[in-house]
Amino acid sequence: MKEINITTSFTIYENLNELSSEIQNLMNQAVEIRKKAYAPYSKFRVGAALLLDNGKVILGSNQENAAYPSGLCAERTAIFYAGSAYPEAKILKMAITAASDTNQTTAPIPPCGSCRQSIAEYEIKQDTPIEIYFMGEIGEIYKSSSLKNLLPLMFDKKFL
């Protein structure tokens, strides 16, 4: 028998003011698009903003559907749009924010498992790490230098 240990690393910012102006702007755009989420069932709104290497910022918010699970998360809404509109562009940075209509979210909210797998696909495809910043409605912001910190044992095309 053998045991492995996997270590991940995150940078934690106390508030938005500690971020660079570029990331503050990206997170502020994620906050604004979060307000446009269609979340009548969960009452949980998520916004995502992607910075591409061509300078474009792509926004996405979660879109729910009564025929659950037919909705789509904010991260995948943005990633899939970026992939279809700018297939040659690389995603450099991603800002994610989440808020509940019923209580205040103060802990950083990371991407769900399906979104992690989708982000992994694009990170592997572009062979460039994607910086991921995530927060709740208020409070600390976590930064991961790559999706690998969130999903260290990634499933990808090499297994197929």
CATH number at residue 19: 3.40.140.10
72 in Cβ contact with 63 (< 8 Å): yes
Domain contains 135: yes
Tens-place pLDDT, residues 17-65: 999 999 999 999 999 999 999 999 999 999 999 999 999 999 999 999 9
Determine if residue 17 is labeled as part of a ligand binding site.
Answer: no
Domain contains 22: yes
Half-sphere exposure of 70 (CA within 13 A, CB side): 4
Domain contains 1: no
Closest C-alpha to 72, from 82, 61, 83, 81: 61
Residues marked as catalytic: 75
Tens-place pLDDT, residues 87-138: 999 999 999 999 999 999 999 999 999 999 999 999 999 999 999 999 999 9
Domain contains 26: yes
Structural domains in the chain (count): 1
69 pLDDT higher than 90: no
Amino acid at 145: S
Domain contains 38: yes
Q: What is the pLDDT of residue 16?
A: 95
Q: Which domain holds residue 29?
A: 11-90+101-148
Determine if residue 64 is labeled as part of a ligand binding site.
Answer: yes
Q: What is the pLDDT of residue 159?
A: 85
Q: Rounded to whole angstroms, how far apart are CA atoms 30 and 58? A: 10
Domain contains 6: no
Domain contains 5: no
